[in-house]
Every structure is written in C-alpha cells, then in structure tokens.
Amino acid sequence: MTMGRGFPLDKSTKHKLNTRSSTESEIVAVDDLIPQILWARLFMKAQGFEVRDNILYQDNRSAMLLETNGRASSSKRTKHINIRYYYVADRVAKGDLRVVWCPTDKMIADFLTKPLQGKAFVEFRDLLMGAD
C-alpha cells in the first residue's frame, strides 16, 4: 500500500488454501488484504486526512470483473468460488475503493512475490524504499 512516496504497509504470504486458477488466487489474495486496506482508510480519516481515492491495482481482468460485480460476473468456471471472497465487490459498490487495471510489468507487488532481475528489480526497489 502506498501513501505518497514509500510503502508503509506491505505483506507477502502463502495462501491458506489451494486455488484452481490465477483468477481465484487473485480474489483470495484481495480478500486476505481487504481488512488492512479498509483499516488504513479509516485510520487516515480518524487522523483528519481526507482519503480522496482508494485504488486497488489488479493485473487480472477476470478477477477485476468478479471483484467489481461479484457473483453477477460469475460463470461456469468461477461458480465454485466461495461467496465470502466477493466481500470486495460490496466495498467497491459502497465507494470505499475502486479496482483499476495495471499492466503486469508495472505491478509493484510483484517485487514481493517474484524473482526480479536487472532494471525491474532496481525500479521496484527504489519505489518501495521511496528513493528518487
């Protein structure tokens, strides 16, 4: 999570369950982090700061549809996904956050989950550390 420069909160953990697709993995990951995202928003409001835009970046378009529309975007391939993972769709509908597509090569969270080399490593490291 970013606030201006640097990353005050970050997390990289293994899923607590097995998933059948990358779309389901993305939805489970967002469900794991949604309390942290919402807590940070409430904390900033309590400190007197206005949170104008709370953006969740996503590089999986299928996951974006499910996170935005919930069960309404579900099909034969995704009907097995537990309803609890659509909580993010409720929060999007309430305006607490919005889901925005981000190309995979620009996804900063990959620094925490994938082995990067060269230019990508240096670029993401500098972003995480708040370096110019």
Domain ranges of the chain: 22-101, 104-132
Residue 49 contacts by C-beta under 8 Å, 6 or more apart in sequence? Answer: none
- In degrees, to the nearest 5, what angle opens at C-alpha 58 toward C-alphas 1 and 11? 35
As given in the structure block, the two tokens for residue 57 are 């970046």
Task: State pTM to two decimals.
Answer: 0.70
For residue range 14-26, list pLDDT tens digits in order.
667 777 777 777 8
Instruction: Please provide residue 30's backbone torsions phi and psi, each rounded to the nearest 5 degrees.
Output: -65, -40
Residue 76 contacts by C-beta under 8 Å, 6 or more apart in sequence? Answer: none
For residue range 24-43, list pLDDT tens digits in order.
778 888 888 888 888 888 88
Classify the phi-psi angles of 107: left when phi > 0, otherwise alpha if psi is within -120 to 50, otherwise beta.
beta
